[in-house]
Structure formats: structure tokens, C-alpha cells
């Protein structure tokens, strides 16, 4: 279809030179003409008989030949009569042998005779013109570079001409005004003038006022004149209006060419009269190109086109006058916009040439708004205008509207031009039209922006009053007229705030569930993108095919298509197959413009011609490939000049708008970083914080260049009672994840792609994180699955996988401090809050609010560094006023830690804060919460005491409850003092481990307390940790912290057992063999134990498991001690069997 369309278009629009066939009759007339002219055939004496000009026969003698003029001799040398006669008809030659005379036919055509006599008198070489020799009634001397003598000779033949219907003197620049006037006067015979149908004086640059006066007089009688060409003839101001009147009065006149005729001169009233008079006739084709017209002229021209009922073709190439330079770019834009805006009025117009008129993306938007519903316009010539990618985008939209009949726009030379600047606020972007617009209604571009806003409201089926908040008093919204055009006012100013958020309240989005992000994006793109209609696809593909081989033009063309258009996979395949060199670039640029379905993605990746194309394309598509619309939470580093990255940024902006609307509907607390309700964080563009440029990311006019980096955190959460992935399937999932098929970065990308398919709990999150060695990889996994967690109160379970406080801080920065705040279990947590950010001020307010209702002393190690670097030690404590958010300072850095004894815990308040700030429904009682303490929260000495208590060989304390009773005594008071703790540990035989150098050196607890100050201090650390309230004793509830820590130890060992079960099918002997081969001994040290298991692919807390296995406290694990793991393997196996 594209090939057939192109061929048909060329046949209909490309002029083909008409090559005249020289027939024998035509050749004979040329010979006759030259024979009559040749000096040998002229009667120079008195004794000639009939023939030649005088009808006598001329006998050449030697004496007469001597008297020939030099001109005759030159003519004889240049023209050979014998050669002409030998190749011509024999009827023209008769030879008498006795006298050797040549008898030539008589001249019977008076105009030819007059022409030849004039040439002789002026010593000019005659021309064998078809008009002169009687071959044609058309006086066509175009491009012969005639002089005044030549045209005067032709003029002499005109009075005897019976008919002259076509006069073409084009491209004869040497003809003077007097010669042309003389020719006009010779034509002014009533019988001759009335028959003229076509006149062309194109390029007769010396034609002056005398010729123009004669032309006006002649046209008054040329009733059958159909075509007039005066291009490049400078018309005097005096005769411009009379000429226009003469043109208007000729009802048969259809085609007029006034290109480069200085028609734009004179006063405004003069120009107005000229164009108004000119278009009062019945012209069908008018060319006013290469004149200089201002905005007022174009405006009047547009009004006249609305009143004209016959003009079908209008040429305005290079007619935009250069105005005065102004600081306002919109005001200094091309004046032709004033005409383009009124094209909807020109109902019969079919072809428009507005090339070389400095049309930029602003005027292109005016064109877009004006001809969307035009029912006659078929071709627009936009050549050599600085459209750029934004202007071409508007032009392609204009071409592919199914409400008009446009089938071709010429964009040659339009692929470079100005692009909107960052500071330009008056830029209409169909993908992000929200924001404020201060419009001057005297400017066509501003009026077109207003029309596009009205069209957007109409497309979304919303009232303008609902979407557009007008701050100008007295302004009334306009309605669409019968032609589908919004005829907005042309005077005054109006300030419009287009509320893009209200677009989402359209009926188109009513049935979209809040969590259906993919459905929302598809519906939004269907409503705002320009979907390529099938009936206009061929025209678009034809333009693309014409650009094959032009790299720059193809690049701009694809940029224009990738932003505002929507395509099907069939459209993409057609475009990609049309240009082999740009096939990969087509896929890269347009993949984001097709529906994001797995089948479409698969088909698009099957179109590459070579493996190198595939590799390069996949590299540029990697961000879009890993982008999960249903779970967009993550970190994004985008190159906005890359179309797939731009598509991701565009989707994030739209999702941010959608989630802000959902949060508003649900009345959710604002947890944004900058108190704007947004879900993006840490946005940086060109290395600068985006908050310095714009208040909200979703309101940003997204540029198409440079690097952009941000974090996005979605507010979607699982529904209450949401089921998690089954353990059986999860084991298979982990087994696949452990296989060494690809790098960890690919695994993380794959996890992101499938993360929306299931929900997990805290323990499953912990196990997934355990398969990644590096801290940044574990942070990425945690961010990916953060919104897929069905519980928020057990965050400590998986946060153990983060190695240090810096990792915790990094995750908080990415996910948001208020979202990551441990509302239910803040014990032992450290905080470092930058109070210049809103969400971190929310954290400190909640922390102070919680502490004031639990125990204000729970906030420990508080420090406040002011913005100028001054350190405030907060000697009087943290100000209680900070529990009010508006009283928290807006600068400085606050750091602290939080501890709380179980008896001081205010669970109901914690649950309330959690529900408010995490959006989860907390229906659990305090007993249903699995209170947790991570290994990295407790001091190592506390862990050492715990492991001793739970691995006591004498089994004096098989449980922590009995250990508490044993230390407190049978008749104890229910609390443990420091002395009781020291004596109880000594009686149990507890010994501190030494460091890695002195593994076997140890002392008893009593000896350490009495003789070793350092060991005594370690015992004090254990006691103070177990006594967070600072009462000087450990209560039973405080002792339960060891139970929380013990659950962490048990879970760590259980995870290791699960790993061995998946890797070695539960065969611990095989696992031990691997460890023994690595150590080269049956006694395995802690370092070798940890390194070996990491080499197997497990990155959990192995050091805890080693210490648990080392029941002898000798720093090594034997085969017998390793068998402690069998108990965990058996338990896990039984659980699986029971589930099956």
C-alpha cells in the first residue's frame, strides 16, 4: 500500500516535461522559413522574377555577391541553404539547368513577412518560432533570453495575427519596460485580446510602470484569460490595486502567480484593499510567495479565505516578514501563524505552500489546532522551516487525524530547529499538560494552547470548568463551533491553571482499581496519546519510507513518534521492516509507544536482523525491560535522550499522579520527602536536586536530554488477609534463584519483573536477601519486595540481613524514612535524621510523641547538629515540643537511639502510628506480635551468654525461663541484680570466649568480675542491655529479650538447614565433606566455615550458626557438633510432608 501510494502521488504531483516530436510537416515549415530569410533568396536588385519576399526569382551573380553586406556573409556562413534544402522536401526546390536559378515559394503569411522585414531592419537573426512560422497560435518564447529588438520584431507580426491564445515571455530578463509596453499595445486589438487565455511574464525583472499600465488595460478586455504569471515582476504600488481589480473582474481567470512581486508594500490599508480585492474573484490557484507580509496582512488574508468559495491552492512560500527583535520569543515568532490559525475557515482550500516561513514548534501547534477537522485540505508544503522534533511531532499529529483528509505534508528540510527550553512555561505537552498558563489572547500560539486545553477536556469528556481554573474575572469558556473549532477571544489576557489531577476523575478511569497501575496507564495513553488510525497509516509510512538513508531525518522522525503516538505491534513491524539500517532504532524508540504486553515485547525482539543489533538494542532497552508497572518501587538512573528511558520517566510521572489521587481519596497521611504528596525521592537532574527547579516531580516539564536519577516508592499495599506464596513453591523459587545461570544483576532484574506476581512475608524476604553476597544487592532486593510484604510489624526479621547502619540509612533514603520507621518495634534502633526533609521531621515528631507516652528517657545518645555545624548536646533533653510536627526545626541533623523496657511499651499507640503512616491494617494484639531482636542489635557478649545458656551441657537451664529462675533463686524476688547474674553464670560454668588469637584462653565470670576490669565491663554491658529501663535489675519481661534473640538464632540456623536441604537433598554428610575438603581437617575453624558456605552460594548470618555449633567453646566445629543441624533438617522435612 505504501509503494502504490507513493507512485500514485508522484504521478499526480510531479510535472513531466512534454518533449515535442519534430514531425516532417514541422520540419518543412522551418526549412521554408529559413529559405525565405537566407540572403541567397532575397531580391537585392531589380531584374528578379517572382519568388521570395517580392515574388521574384533572384539570379545570383558574382558582382552582386561581391556587394553583399558583411551581415549577409556572416549569415551565409552560419546557415547553409544547401544543407537545409538537401534534407527538406523536394517540393520546395526547383532548378533550371540553363541558368542555375533557385526558385523559392512566395511569402504568403503577412505576419511572417513583417517579422522578417523587422529582423532585417534591425540586423537581427530571426527565430524559427512555432508562432512565427505558423505552427502554433501560442507565443512561447520562454527562456530564450530575448532582447528588445527580438521582442519588437515579434510585436511587428502581431497586428496581422488572426489568433494569439497563449503568451509566455517567462525568463527573459533583458526585456525592457518600453519593449514590453510596445508588445502589450500591439496585442490590444479587440478581436485578438479577447482570445488570450494564458499570459506569463515570469522573470521579466525590467518590466516597469508603462508595462504594468498596459497590462491592466489589456486585462480589462481579456475576458477569456485563465492564467496570469507575473512572478518576479516588481509591481509598482500605483498599479497593485488596479491589477488586483482587473484580476478580480475576470471571471474566467483561475490561476494567478504573483510570486516576488512586492505585493506586501505600502500602507496597511493599501495591502488590505489589495488582498481583499484579489480574493473577491473566482481564483482557484494563487501564489503570493516570496513577498513580505506582516501579521496584519496574514490576519486579513485569513479572513478573506473564509469568505472565498473558489480558492483551492495557495502558495505563501517565504512570505513571513521579519519583525522587531523582542525578548519574548512567542511575540517575535513567525507572523504566518495569524493565517494558519484561520485555515479552518478556508473550506475549499486543498493545497497550501507555507515553506520557508520560519515556522517553529509554536506555529506547528497552531497548525495542529486549526486543521484537525478540515474537510478539504489534502496537501501542506512545510519545506525548509525550523520545526525540529517538537514541530515535526505536531505536523505528524496533524497529518494523521482521522477527522481531516490530509494525505501529505512535505517535511523536507524541517528536521532541525528550536526545542523548548527548560524555563519555557508556555509549552503544551499532550503527555503532561498540567500547570499554569498565563496567556495573551492576542498571540495565535497562546490561543492555540488554550484550544488544545479545551480539546483535552473534550477528549476526556469533562467540563472545562472542572479542569481549567481561570483567574481572570469575566472570562467565559467558549464552546466548539460546527466545524469543531474553538473560536477563542483575540483580545485580553487570561490565566489558566489546568488541573491534570482532575483528568484522572474522568469517567474513563472510574472502573480502574487503585492497584491496577497497568490498566490505568493503558487507559491514560488511550485518552491522551494520538493513536495512529488505520486510514492514515499508509500516509505516515510513506513519509518514513521517503527518509530511508537520511540518518538525521530518521532520528528526528522517530523522536517525534515516540513521545505522543500510540502504535500497534503491526505498525512497529511495518516501520522496522521499511528501513533496514534503522530497524534496531525503530524498535528502541517505539517499543515504549506500543501496549506493554508480553506478546508485543516478544514479537518486537524477534525482528532483529543480526545478533549485534539485538545486543545493542537490549542494552538500551534494559531499563524499560526491567520496569514493572505493577511494582514500580525502585531506583532509576535514566538517560532522557534515550527513548526507552524517557518512556520509563513518563510512566513514573503518571503513576505518581495516580497514586497522589488515590492517597487523597483514601485520606492517607503525607509521607513524601518534600511535603508535596509525591512518591518520588532523591530526584536529581544534571547533578542538581530537582526540588530546586520544580515543586513536584509529576508537574515537571520532562526534558529530552541529560541524566535523571530518582527513587520511587509506591504507596500500594497488600489487601488485608492477603495470602503469601506457598512454602513448596517458594522452595522451588529459591532453588532456581541459587542456580548459577547468570549474574546477580540479571537475577535482580528478573526478580523485579516477576515481583508483582506474588506476596511474601518477612521470613521469605529474609531468605531471598540471603542469596546475595553484596550489601547493595540485598538493599535492592529489599526495595523491590518492600511493597509486596503482607506484614509491616516484623520488619526486624529481614532487616537483620543489612550488615551495618549505613545500609539501613541507604534503604531509608530510598524508601522514605517515614515508610521505613519501625513503629511497632523501635527498640535498639538508631536514627540519623536530616530535618530539612519533611518525612524525616515526621519521624522525629513520632519518636518524641512515642517517647513522651512511654518514657522520655527511652531516647538515648541524642545529638543535634545545627545547619551551621554547631553541635547541640541537648543537655536538657529532647524538646517535648518536637512531638508537634510544625514545631520541629527545618534544618540540622538529629541523631539518637531508642530503647524501651517491655513493661513501658505502649502497644496501642504504636499500632495507631503504624496504621496511620504505613497504611496497613493492624488487627493484632500485643501477644500476637512476634517480638524480635536481631543479632546485630545485641552486643556480642549478650549473644555469647545466650548461646551458653541454650547449649548448657549440664541441662540445668534447658529453657530461658528456667535459667531466669536459676539465677534469681528459687525464693527470688522476680528480678535479677548484677551480682545475682554474675554468680549464676559462674555456677553454670560460663566462660567468656577470647578473641581469634586467644581462642582457648578464658576466665570464669566471677574471676572476670573480680580480677579483670575489662571482663567486668563486658558483664556490665550485658546487664545494662538486659535492663533498658535503668532500674538496676532485670525483670522477667526484660529477660524475654533473650527469647527474642534466641528466635533470631534459631531462624538463622533453620535457614542454613533449608539451604543444605535444597543443595544437598538433606544429606549433611555431603555438606560436611565439602567443608572438610576446604579445611583439610576434621576440625573446621570459623573463618573456613564461613568462607566455604559462602562459596556454596549462601550469604546469611553463618557466624551465628558456627557459634551455636561450637558447644565446646573451643573455636572449631567437629563432625559431631555439626550434626546439631540434623534436628533442623528433620523438622523442616516433616513440615513439608505435613503440607503435602
Residue 97 has pLDDT above 60, yes or no: no
Confidence at 755, pLDDT banded by 50, 70, 90: very high
Residue pair 516/449 in contact (Cβ under 8 Å)? The answer is no
Confidence at 588, pLDDT banded by 50, 70, 90: very high
- CA gap 1020, 1015 in Å, rounded: 9
Is pTM, for the whole model, over 0.85?
no
Assign 482 to helix, strand or coil.
Answer: coil
Average pLDDT for the chain: 83
Residue 332 has pLDDT above 60, yes or no: no
- CA gap 400, 534 in Å, rounded: 9
Q: Is 117 exposed, middle or buried (0-12, 13-18, 19+ CB in 10 A)?
A: middle
End-to-end CA distance of the chain: 60
Residue pair 319/288 in contact (Cβ under 8 Å)? The answer is yes
- Percentage of the chain beyond pLDDT 70 is 87
Give the highest mean pLDDT range of 92-106, 137-151, 776-790. 776-790
pLDDT, tens digit, 9 for 90 and up, residues 245-284: 999 999 999 999 999 999 988 899 999 999 999 999 899 9
- CA gap 945, 1042 in Å, rounded: 9
- CA gap 564, 592 in Å, rounded: 11
- Percentage of the chain beyond pLDDT 90 is 41
Give the C-alpha distances (Å, rounded to integers) separating 406 from 350, 376, 794. 9, 8, 63
- CA gap 572, 541 in Å, rounded: 10
pLDDT, tens digit, 9 for 90 and up, residues 647-674: 999 999 999 999 998 999 899 999 999 9
How many other CB atoms are found less than 10 A from the CB of residue 719?
Answer: 10
- CA gap 1084, 1075 in Å, rounded: 8
List of residues 6+ apart from 956 with CB closer than 8 A: 962, 966, 988
**pLDDT for the residue numbered 24:** 60
Q: What is the sign, positive or negative, of the torsion defined by CA atoms of 755, 756, 759, 761?
A: positive
* Average pLDDT, integer, range 858-868: 92
* Short-list 594, 641, 603, 596, CA closest to 620: 641
> Alpha helices, DSSP H only, in 770-859?
775-784, 795-799, 805-815, 817-820, 838-854
Half-sphere exposure (Cβ direction) of 255: Cα atoms closer than 13 Å: 9
Largest CA distance in the chain: 171
- CA gap 711, 1117 in Å, rounded: 44
The three three-digit cell numbers of residue 469, written as one number: 481554573
pLDDT, tens digit, 9 for 90 and up, residues 593-613: 998 888 888 888 889 888 898
Q: Cell 472502573 belongs to which residue?
A: 511
* Average pLDDT, integer, range 926-955: 80
pLDDT, tens digit, 9 for 90 and up, residues 175-220: 999 999 999 988 887 778 888 999 999 999 999 999 999 999 998 8
* Short-list 520, 530, 514, 524, CA closest to 566: 530
- CA gap 667, 674 in Å, rounded: 18
Query: What are the residues facing 789 on neighbouring strands?
Result: 760
Give the C-alpha distances (Å, rounded to integers) separating 1108 from 220, 976, 1042. 116, 25, 15
List of residues 6+ apart from 65 with CB closer than 8 A: none
- CA gap 239, 213 in Å, rounded: 7
Q: Cell 534447658 belongs to which residue?
A: 958
* Average pLDDT, integer, range 461-477: 86
Confidence at 76, pLDDT banded by 50, 70, 90: very low
- In the sheet that 859-865 helps form, which strands lie side by side, from edge to edge? 829-834, 893-898, 859-865, 871-872
Mean pLDDT is lowest, of 287-296, 340-349, 589-598, 834-843, for 589-598
* Average pLDDT, integer, range 919-938: 88
Exposure string of 318-333, with b = 16+ CB inside 10 Å and e = fewer, is bbbbeeeeeeeebeeb
* Short-list 163, 225, 232, CA closest to 198: 225
Query: What are the residues facing 199 on neighbouring strands?
Result: 167, 228
**pLDDT for the residue numbered 74:** 37
* Average pLDDT, integer, range 767-775: 88
Residue pair 638/649 in contact (Cβ under 8 Å)? The answer is yes
Exposure string of 611-628, with b = 16+ CB inside 10 Å and e = fewer, is eebbeebeebbebbbbbb
* Short-list 199, 201, 193, CA closest to 172: 201
**pLDDT for the residue numbered 237:** 92
pLDDT, tens digit, 9 for 90 and up, residues 1019-1028: 888 888 888 8
Amino acid at each position: 500500500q505504501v509503494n502504490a501510494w507513493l507512485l500514485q502521488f508522484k504521478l499526480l504531483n510531479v510535472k513531466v516535461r512534454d518533449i515535442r516530436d519534430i514531425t516532417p510537416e514541422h520540419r518543412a515549415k522551418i526549412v521554408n522559413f529559413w529559405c525565405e530569410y537566407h540572403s541567397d533568396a532575397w531580391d537585392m536588385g531589380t531584374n528578379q522574377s517572382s519568388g521570395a519576399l517580392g515574388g521574384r526569382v533572384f539570379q545570383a551573380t558574382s558582382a552582386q555577391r561581391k556587394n553583399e553586406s558583411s551581415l549577409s556573409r556572416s549569415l551565409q556562413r552560419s546557415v547553409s541553404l544547401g544543407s537545409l534544402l538537401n534534407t527538406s522536401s523536394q517540393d520546395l526546390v526547383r532548378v533550371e539547368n540553363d541558368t542555375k536559378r533557385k526558385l523559392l515559394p512566395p511569402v504568403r503569411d503577412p505576419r511572417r513577412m513583417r517579422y522578417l522585414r523587422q529582423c532585417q531592419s534591425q540586423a537581427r537573426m530571426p527565430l524559427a518560432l512555432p508562432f512565427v512560422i505558423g505552427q502554433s497560435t501560442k507565443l512561447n518564447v520562454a527562456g530564450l533570453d530575448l532582447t528588445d529588438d527580438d521582442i519588437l520584431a515579434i510585436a511587428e507580426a502581431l497586428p496581422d495575427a488572426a489568433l494569439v491564445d497563449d503568451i509566455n515571455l517567462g525568463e527573459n530578463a533583458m526585456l525592457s519596460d518600453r519593449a514590453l509596453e510596445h508588445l502589450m499595445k500591439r496585442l490590444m486589438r479587440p478581436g485578438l485580446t479577447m482570445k488570450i487565455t494564458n499570459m506569463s511574464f515570469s522573470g521579466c525583472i525590467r518590466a516597469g510602470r508603462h508595462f504594468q499600465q498596459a497590462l491592466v488595460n489589456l486585462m480589462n478586455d481579456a475576458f477569456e484569460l485563465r492564467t496570469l504569471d507575473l512572478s518576479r515582476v516588481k509591481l509598482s504600488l500605483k498599479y497593485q490595486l488596479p491589477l488586483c481589480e482587473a484580476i478580480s473582474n475576470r471571471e474566467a481567470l483561475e490561476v494567478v502567480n504573483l510570486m516576488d512581486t512586492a505585493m506586501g508594500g505600502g500602507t496597511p490599508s493599501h495591502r488590505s484593499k489589495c488582498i481583499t480585492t484579489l480574493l473577491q474573484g473566482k481564483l482557484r490557484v494563487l501564489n503570493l510567495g516570496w513577498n513580505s507580509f506582516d501579521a496584519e496582512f496574514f490576519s486579513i488574508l485569513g479572513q478573506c479565505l473564509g469568505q472565498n468559495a473558489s480558492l483551492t491552492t495557495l502558495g505563501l512560500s517565504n512570505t513571513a516578514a521579519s519583525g522587531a527583535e523582542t525578548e519574548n520569543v512567542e511575540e517575535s515568532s513567525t507572523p504566518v501563524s495569524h493565517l494558519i490559525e484561520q485555515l479552518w475557515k478556508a473550506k475549499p482550500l486543498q493545497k497550501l505552500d507555507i515553506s520557508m516561513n520560519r515556522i517553529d514548534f509554536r506555529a506547528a501547534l497552531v497548525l495542529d489546532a486549526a486543521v484537525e477537522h478540515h474537510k478539504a485540505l489534502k496537501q501542506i508544503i512545510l519545506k525548509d522551516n525550523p520545526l525540529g522534533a517538537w514541530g515535526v511531532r505536531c505536523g505528524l499529529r496533524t497529518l494523521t487525524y482521522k477527522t481531516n483528509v490530509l494525505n501529505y505534508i512535505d517535511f523536507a528540510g524541517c528536521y532541525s530547529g528550536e526545542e523548548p527550553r527548560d524555563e519555557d512555561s508556555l509549552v503544551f505537552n499532550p503527555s503532561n499538560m498540567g500547570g499554569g498558563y498565563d496567556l495573551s489572547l492576542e498571540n495565535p500560539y497562546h490561543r492555540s494552547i488554550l484550544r488544545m486545553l479545551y480539546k483535552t477536556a473534550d477528549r476526556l469528556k469533562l467540563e472545562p470548568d472542572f479542569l481549567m481554573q481561570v483567574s481572570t474575572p469575566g472570562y467565559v469558556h467558549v464552546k466548539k463551533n460546527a466545524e469543531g473549532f474553538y473560536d477563542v477571544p483575540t483580545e485580553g489576557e487570561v490565566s489558566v491553571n489546568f488541573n491534570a489531577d482532575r483528568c484522572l476523575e474522568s469517567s474513563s478511569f472510574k472502573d480502574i482499581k487503585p492497584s491496577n497501575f497497568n490498566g490505568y496507564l493503558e487507559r491514560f495513553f488511550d485518552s491522551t496519546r494520538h493513536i495512529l488510525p488505520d486510514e492514515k497509516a499508509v500516509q505516515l509510512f510513506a513519509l518514513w519510507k521517503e527518509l530511508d538513508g537520511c540518518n538525521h531525518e530518521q532520528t528526528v522522525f522517530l523522536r517525534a513518534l515516540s513521545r505522543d503516538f500510540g502504535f500497534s505491534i503491526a505498525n512497529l513491524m511495518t516501520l522496522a521492516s521499511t528501513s533496514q539500517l534503522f530497524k534496531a532504532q525503530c524498535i528502541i524508540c517505539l517499543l515504549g509507544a506500543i501496549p506493554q504486553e508480553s506478546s508485543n515485547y516478544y514479537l518486537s525482539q524477534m525482528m532483529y536482523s543480526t545478533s549485534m543489533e539485538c545486543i545493542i538494542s537490549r542494552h538500551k532497552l534494559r531499563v524499560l525491560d526491567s520496569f514493572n508497572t505493577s511494582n514500580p518501587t525502585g531506583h532509576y538512573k535514566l538517560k532522557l535522550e534515550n527513548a526507552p528511558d524517557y518512556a520509563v520517566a513518563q510512566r513514573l510521572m503518571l503513576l505518581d499522579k495516580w497514586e497522589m489521587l488515590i492517597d487523597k481519596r483514601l485520606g492517607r497521611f503525607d509521607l513524601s520527602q518534600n511535603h508535596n504528596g509525591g512518591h518520588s525521592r532523591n530526584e536529581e537532574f544534571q547533578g542538581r536536586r530537582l526540588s530546586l527547579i520544580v515543586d513536584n516531580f509529576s508537574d515537571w516539564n520532562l526534558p529530552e536530554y541529560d541524566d535523571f536519577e530518582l527513587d520511587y516508592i509506591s504507596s500500594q499495599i497488600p489487601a488485608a488477609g492477603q495470602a503469601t506464596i506457598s512454602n513448596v513453591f517458594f522452595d522451588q523459587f529459591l532453588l532456581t534463584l541459587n542456580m548459577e545461570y547468570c549474574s546477580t544483576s540479571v537475577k535482580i532484574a528478573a526478580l523485579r519483573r516477576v515481583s508483582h506476581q506474588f506476596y511474601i512475608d518477612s521470613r521469605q524476604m529474609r531468605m531471598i536477601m540471603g542469596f546475595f553476597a553484596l550489601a547493595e544487592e540485598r538493599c535492592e532486593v529489599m526495595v523491590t519486595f518492600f511493597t509486596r510484604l503482607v506484614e509491616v510489624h516484623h520488619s526486624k526479621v529481614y532487616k537483620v540481613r543489612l550488615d551495618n547502619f549505613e545500609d539501613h540509612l541507604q534503604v531509608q533514603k530510598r524508601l522514605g524514612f517515614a515508610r521505613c520507621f519501625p513503629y511497632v518495634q523501635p527498640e535498639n534502633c538508631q536514627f540519623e535524621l536530616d530535618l530539612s526533609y519533611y518525612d524525616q521531621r515526621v519521624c522525629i515528631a513520632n519518636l518524641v510523641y512515642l517517647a513522651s507516652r512511654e518514657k522520655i528517657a527511652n531516647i538515648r545518645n541524642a545529638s543535634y547538629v545545627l545547619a551551621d555545624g554547631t553541635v547541640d548536646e541537648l543537655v536538657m533533653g529532647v524538646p517535648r515540643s518536637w512531638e508537634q510536627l510544625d514545631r520541629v526545626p527545618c534544618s540540622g541533623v538529629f541523631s539518637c537511639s531508642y530503647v524501651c523496657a517491655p513493661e513501658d511499651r505502649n502497644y496501642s499507640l504504636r499500632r495507631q502510628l503504624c496504621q496511620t503512616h504505613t497504611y496497613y491494617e493492624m488487627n493484632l494484639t500485643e501477644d500476637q506480635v512476634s517480638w524480635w531482636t536481631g543479632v546485630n542489635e545485641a552486643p556480642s557478649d549478650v549473644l555469647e551468654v545466650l548461646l551458653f545458656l541454650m547449649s548448657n551441657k549440664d541441662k540445668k537451664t534447658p529453657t530461658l525461663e528456667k535459667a531466669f529462675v536459676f539465677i534469681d533463686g528459687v525464693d527470688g524476688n522476680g528480678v535479677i541484680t548484677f551480682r545475682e547474674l554474675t554468680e549464676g553464670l559462674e555456677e553454670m560454668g560460663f566462660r567468656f570466649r577470647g578473641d581469634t588469637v586467644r581462642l582457648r584462653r578464658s576466665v570464669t565470670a566471677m574471676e572476670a568480675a573480680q580480677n579483670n576490669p575489662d571482663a567486668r565491663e563486658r558483664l556490665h554491658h550485658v546487664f545494662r542491655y538486659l535492663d533498658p529501663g535503668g532500674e538496676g535489675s532485670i525483670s522477667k519481661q526484660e529477660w524475654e529479650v533473650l527469647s527474642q534473640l534466641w528466635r533470631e538464632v534459631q531462624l538463622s540456623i533453620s535457614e542454613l538447614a533449608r539451604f543444605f536441604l535444597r543443595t544437598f537433598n538433606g544429606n549433611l554428610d555431603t555438606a560436611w565433606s565439602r567443608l572438610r575438603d576446604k579445611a583439610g581437617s576434621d576440625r573446621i575453624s570459623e573463618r573456613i566455615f564461613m568462607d566455604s558456605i559462602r562459596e556454596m552460594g549462601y550469604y546469611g548470618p553463618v557466624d551465628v550458626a558456627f557459634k551455636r555449633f561450637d558447644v565446646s567453646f573451643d573455636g572449631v566445629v567437629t563432625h559431631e557438633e555439626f550434626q546439631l543441624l540434623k534436628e533442623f533438617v528433620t523438622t523442616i522435612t516433616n513440615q513439608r510432608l505435613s503440607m503435602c
